[in-house]
Amino acid sequence: MVINVGPQHPSTHGVLRLILTLDGEQIVACEPVIGYLHRGLEKMMERRPYRHNIPFTDRLDYLAALSNNLGICQCIERLGGVEVPERAQYIRVLLMELQRIASHLVFLGTFGTDLGATTMFLYAFREREMVLDLLEECTGARLTYNWVRVGGVPDDLPEGFGQKVLDFAKLFRQRIEEYDMLLTRNRIFRSRTQGVGVLPKETALAYGCSGPVARASGIPYDIRKVAPYEVYDRVEFDVPVFEDGDVWARYLVRMEELRQSLRIIEQVLRDMPDGPVQTKLPKIFKPPAGIAYSRVESPRGELSFMMVSDGSPNPVRVHIRAPSFVNLSVLPRLLEGAKVADLVAILGSIDVVLGEIDR
Amino acid sequence: MNQAIENLLQRFGEAVIEWTQVSPNEVRLTVSASHWRDIAQYLHDDPLWQMDYPADLTVWDTGNEFGVYLRLWSSVYNHNVVVLTSISREEARIASLATLYPGVDWHEREMYDMYGVIFEGHPNLKRILLPDDWEGFPFRKDYVAEPSGNPLHGPQPVN
């Protein structure tokens, strides 16, 4: 039997359509249909000067807009050989980790709801609201921040921001314990996730999976460690890696990353030097001809921008390697032989954002 | 990494047009399109390379030709390789790597969708982001983005 899931379906996290071939309760084949949100952003970027493209990236992965801002800015910086002041690098890392917490909290909330644990949604969004308040105070926006600039960040942190972040970190450590009580030690939650949707290490490698999906399958692939950018090589943190590759492991990776993000935030606030936050750049920015790429560990995995320049003010090509796009391509393999009832758990554990899949 | 590069140059000779070592663990190769698949296979299989992770694949249009960009990572050595080549705009054909690296399957479909590049040997080369009946390849530099070329239509029957 063939059944259609989506594109308007509450558990597909956006406009994803799946064509499932079933044999009774078992999924025999799955064909994801994407492109409902395709806006041709890459082509639009070719027609604008380099720095005008930063707001577009907010609309890629809209749950982690800052990571996308950073990705494109790093790519332009590499293309033009732009140096970033040290303080700006620290501010960037601080904001990236706050963003990671906010994004993982959306995952926790929606994933809990997907599995019927509705309370988790209320808890996770309560804390996410606090992160968004912090980010709003700094950037002026709650979702589409457009805050990172080529050569730094547009402005310094507001007064007293560091203390507010530290207060939040202190409170959030306790809140993570509450999540553990609600989900991690919940027997129903465990039996719905353990051993479900197993992604073997070889498959994850061959498909180019990244982020928590890869790390849950035993691949220690974290761009912050394998190719450190900004000041990630100066802070201490662990990369959680689990071997099982099931939905449970992907959940655990994200839970552990919340704690590691707090560690990074506290170190960054401790070590942040004073100084300028932006490099002066010419009004008309023309990087030399060439090809450059950047890699950023977004909450969903390896986000990579690749740009081709011919020396003119506009890029010849902007390519976005969206982590969700690649992670979703492994879904048919994951669903082969799975039960229909596990579909939502497996899809939710990949944590896709359709904005960056369709671009 | 030096030994690995030396072996590669010896094995493929003229097919590697240019190479630069960007950093201690990254090398950028410009290769001839006719050896695209062979070089990828070599990088994948050779014990000194073991580029087992397909990170990225894309195409760009310079107006005269298409450039192809492939980025690989090795989980064993933490090495990065960027492989570049160029193909003619009229032919727009290159060997597919989808059977070697399942991860580039969707990237190749997307590039077919946007540029009309035929990846020879791809198991399922069809449009991925645009509707199946879309006319033209919108990321080509000479594409005319007129709404009349692809008028809006009502809902399509489900399979």
From chain B residues 99-128, the ones with a CB under 8 A of any chain A CB are 101-107, 114, 128
Separation CA B134–CA B111 (nearest Å) = 14
Helix axes A86-114, A118-139, angle to 10 degrees: 160
The pLDDT, as a whole number, for residue B109 is 92
Those residues whose C-beta lies under 8 Å from the C-beta of residue A154, and which sit 6 or more positions away, are A147, A277, A278
Task: Using CA coordinates, name the residue in chain A closest to B113.
Answer: A35
Q: Mutation test of the interface with chain B: which of A308, A319, A321, choosing the one with the most B Cβ atoms within 10 A?
A: A319
Question: Running DSSP on this structure, what letter comes out for residue A50?
Answer: G
Is some CB atom of chain A closer than 8 A to the CB atom of B53? yes
Helix axes A247-271, A161-179, angle to 10 degrees: 160
In this structure, what token pair is assigned to residue A322? Answer: 């969206």
User: Between chains, do A35 and B78 touch, taking CB under 8 Å as contact?
Assistant: no
Walk me through the domains of chain A, giving residue ranges and CATH numbers. 40-358 (1.10.645.10)
Minimal Cα–Cα distance from B14 to chain A, Å?
23
Q: Which fold has domain B2-120?
A: Beta Polymerase; domain 2 (3.30.460)
pLDDT along chain A (359 residues), means of 10: 82 83 90 89 90 90 90 91 90 92 92 87 91 91 89 88 91 90 87 89 91 91 89 90 90 92 91 88 86 91 91 90 91 89 88 88
Q: Identify which of B40, B150, B21 has the alpha carbon closest to the alpha carbon of residue B103.
A: B40
Q: What percent of chain A has pLDDT over 90?
A: 41
Q: Where are the domains of chain B?
A: 2-120
How many angstroms from the chain centroid is the CA of residue A266? Answer: 21
Q: In this structure, how many other beta carbons lie within 10 angstroms of the beta carbon of residue A198?
A: 18
Backbone angles phi, psi at B133, to 5 degrees: -95, 20
Those residues whose C-beta lies under 8 Å from the C-beta of residue B126, and which sit 6 or more positions away, are B109, B112, B132
Q: Mutation test of the interface with chain B: which of A75, A306, A312, A324, choosing the one with the most B Cβ atoms within 10 A?
A: A306
A contacts of B80 (beta carbons < 8 Å): 227
The pLDDT, as a whole number, for residue A2 is 86
pLDDT beneath 50, residues of chain B: none
- The beta strands (E) that lie in chain B are given as 16-23, 26-31, 53-61, 65-73, 80-88, 93-95, 118-120
User: Between chains, do B104 and A208 touch, taking CB under 8 Å as contact?
Assistant: yes
Question: Running DSSP on this structure, what letter comes out for residue A152?
Answer: B
A contacts of B58 (beta carbons < 8 Å): 306, 317, 319, 321
Name the pairing type of β-strands B118-120 and B93-95.
parallel
Q: Mutation test of the interface with chain A: which of B64, B73, B122, choosing the one with the most A Cβ atoms within 10 A?
A: B73
